[in-house]
Structure 1
Amino acid sequence: MAIVGYAHSLVRRHAPEPLGVLAVDTARRAIADAGLEVADVDGFVSASMFPTAGAHAVEDGTSIVSSQWMAAHLGADARYTAGFDGVGALTGSLALGVNAVASGTADYVLLHRALHNPVGSYHANPMTAAVGWQQWTAPQGFFGPLQMIALPYNEYLARYGASREAMAAVLVEARKNGARIPWSYWHGKPLTAEEYLAAQTLVDPICRYDCDIPVDGVATFVLTSAERAADLPNKPVYIAGYASGLPPRRRLAQHWPLDDIMDAGFGLVSRLWERSGVGPAEIDLPQVYDGFSPFVYFWLEVLGLCPVGEAHRFVQAGGIDADRPDGLPALSGGGALGNGRMHGVPQMLECYLQLSGRAGERQRDKATIGVACHSSPHYGGAVVYSAVPF
């Protein structure tokens, strides 16, 4: 199975056109990039989850774009449409697309992710009464994603003696790389360690720069079999394997203890190496998920790219500096912190661009095996990509 084409919109706080218009335009460009016509594409997959804890309306074509909506508004003759319902959006969507092609249900599959930033406060809480599971959390102020990630990050800081100075290295690296990417919201806007350390704390110890910024943006990819890919204009990037994770223990929603994240992550990664036939020593292009900055530590450790409890020292010593000859390019695509809240797209896209030799001035000399990580290790997934057939 292979990726054979892509397109990416500009990433903006608020796009001038509706999300559906942006999505259809980006999809048409991806199909053309793959050397195909809309009539050739017979499968559509996506994850249309709107990632906000606020009370914004969810309307297809406006705040989300489903597979069915995309197929209909492209005017395609779709034999297969499906949407992934879960947090590890791109891993789940990709699995749906791979399975559709492998089973013969579809020949060419369009995978898309469309993100919307509504006007007003993104996570505004209009709640006047707490019901269901939230009665045990919301009255105490435990509501929304910032509190959710602050819990395991505080555990990490206390357990391993990490500091905010170490995390500054993560943000500087992500923004440095995102500043180089033309479609990034942060294009031309790197961040200094001093700016990071001076930023307002939102939920201790999370500050505003530890969070990806909500945006409007769309990315699309075209998938097909390795055999069909050989006849198309772009160098294919092959999908070697993927795996997803779920919490090992039942908890209240948003209750994410550090041990739950790591235990599930180790299980996920074990399955990933088994299914792909590679290991951490063979990965020269790891792209770790960074919707919140602590995820970088968690993924580096569960992938085996540094010892458990050592990620903060690893990054502070320049271990993920993509400009160093010995640096691990874990955020070379800028990630979410360097592009905007594109929900795992930067990780998948960087693997595709580098392994297909299409990264332009950012092209790395050595890029043969990549891994793209999505969401948290215990609620997400990871995909191994290869520059050569597997």
Structure 2
Amino acid sequence: MSARFKSSNQVAIVGYAHSAVQRHAKRPLGAIATETARDAIADAGLQVPQVDGFVTASLFPTSGAHAVEDGVSIVSANWLAESLGADARYVAGFQGIGQISGSVSIAVNAIASGAADYVVLHRALHNPAGKYHANPMREATGPQQYTAPAGFFGPLAMIGLPYNEYLQRYGAKREAMAATVVEARKNGARIPWSYWYERPLTVDDYMAAPMINDPVCRFDADIPVDGVAAFVLTSAERARDLPHKPVHVAGYASSPPPRRRLPLHWPLDDIMTGGAETARRLWESSGLRPSDVDLPQVYDGFSPFIWFWLEVLGLCPVGEAHRFITDGGIDSDDPAALPALSGGGAIGNGRMHGIPQMLECYLQLSGRAGERQRRNVTVGLACHSSPHYGGAVVYTNEPG
């Protein structure tokens, strides 16, 4: 295949930690992040003075008018390094879309270039008090003047448009999406730190849920939460001396710039065309093919993303994801199926912005998934955000 990126398999994840996922935590987000980072460093068999790199994406994902305050509603890499008292040589924050894949690329390049030896990558999510989408806007200016007055405002309207297109174009039914969301919640209900731990969903629950932005219902979106996860990355060479089996970064890709549109205008064709290019870049970067992946973890901040990612990655034919799923194609309890939501995703854990996908790849490939451990998994794939507006990372426990 085409040449792999120069840092392929040179950098590995060697430890992790995850806080409880709660609607509203009793402690400040910064305190939770500091504790979680310390736990991740210890899990990797290291001490804070050995960590010389910190990376994150600190975007605060709310469409309302909520204050952005470091250590409270966000936790930047700089804030975390200072709070830990670390003598960091490298501190960086990713500012694009696809927060986790972008952060991974920064961490990999820092280590491969020698800018840092051990990097903590974290993501801290906050759910502010009050309505998450509270909008105090009294006038619409700029491009929003053409959309907001007509009611086209916020991410639910954004995803409702291509979801409707898909249903009509391919004859899909909401019952197929019910099966999709039930699969995510089934798996999230098995994970102790999940907000939905021991609370699976039924098809009847889904179909009875109130409609928010037709055809998007309450259960089609991940629930806003407070939570933090942290990972420690280092070179493949150093990883061999640490306590856990390393999971190597085999390749990554970010989506191309999307077509210029009105705010939140995401037509289905844009998503699929841009997503196909994201996938092409990913396979070129990793030197792998869709058939090599035995642990795909697709992004699901909104449930239609699951269908879109399965199709653009070539894991099922275009227009067939809804049938693929209802036929049991992603059933994590079937050893012959593709466990695309085995980590629960955002719908099964809470709005952790791609962390569930990355974490499931790490846990399964390192053999640390406990009772959920799958057999013979060697290549994992974690997707983040929309196929045309995000990115993806390929992981392996068998470096080439």
Q: TM-score range by the shorter chain?
A: over 0.9
Q: Show the 5 A alignment for 1:115-126.
A: 115-126=125-136
Offset from partner CA, 1:144-198 (integer Å, 9 cap, x none)? 1000000100100110010000001111100000000000000000000000001
1:2 and 2:12 aligned: yes
Secondary structure, aligned partner of 2:16: strand
1:322 and 2:332 aligned: yes
1:381 and 2:391 aligned: yes
Please name the residue that 1:258 is paired with. 268
1:39 and 2:39 aligned: no
Q: Show the 5 A alignment for 1:12-51.
A: 12-51=22-61
* Partner Cα distance (1:132, 1:183) in 2: 42
Shift of residue 304, structure 1, vs aligned partner = 0.4
TM superposition outliers: structure 1 runs of 4+ over 4 Å: none
Counterpart of 1:90 (choices 100, 124, 131) is 100
Tell me, yes or no, if the aligned pair for 1:248 and 1:263 is still in contact at 8 Å. Answer: no
Please name the residue that 1:105 is paired with. 115
Please name the residue that 2:4 is paired with. none
1:64 and 2:74 aligned: yes
The amino acid that maps onto 1:95 is S
1:338 and 2:345 aligned: no
Q: How many residues align?
A: 390
* Partner Cα distance (1:235, 1:7) in 2: 15
Tell me, yes or no, if the aligned pair for 1:247 and 1:261 is still in contact at 8 Å. Answer: no
Secondary structure, aligned partner of 1:125: coil
Shift of residue 16, structure 1, vs aligned partner = 0.6
Shift of residue 248, structure 1, vs aligned partner = 4.0
Please name the residue that 1:275 is paired with. 285
Tell me, yes or no, if the aligned pair for 2:256 and 2:277 is still in contact at 8 Å. Answer: no
Shift of residue 246, structure 1, vs aligned partner = 3.1
Please name the residue that 1:76 is paired with. 86
Q: Show the 5 A alignment for 1:210-249.
A: 210-249=220-259
Tell me, yes or no, if the aligned pair for 1:19 and 1:216 is still in contact at 8 Å. Answer: yes
Offset from partner CA, 1:64-105 (integer Å, 9 cap, x none)? 000000000000001111100012000000111011001110
* Partner Cα distance (1:234, 1:326) in 2: 28
* Partner Cα distance (1:249, 1:196) in 2: 33
Counterpart of 1:310 (choices 313, 320, 334) is 320
Tell me, yes or no, if the aligned pair for 1:354 and 1:364 is still in contact at 8 Å. Answer: yes
Shift of residue 251, structure 1, vs aligned partner = 1.0
Please name the residue that 1:132 is paired with. 142
* Partner Cα distance (1:387, 1:204) in 2: 42
Please name the residue that 2:3 is paired with. none
Secondary structure, aligned partner of 2:13: strand
RMSD, matched Cα: 0.7
1:209 and 2:219 aligned: yes
Tell me, yes or no, if the aligned pair for 1:93 and 1:111 is still in contact at 8 Å. Answer: yes
Secondary structure, aligned partner of 2:128: coil
The amino acid that maps onto 1:278 is L
* Partner Cα distance (1:130, 1:246) in 2: 29
Secondary structure, aligned partner of 1:102: helix
Between the aligned residues of both structures, percent identity stands at 73
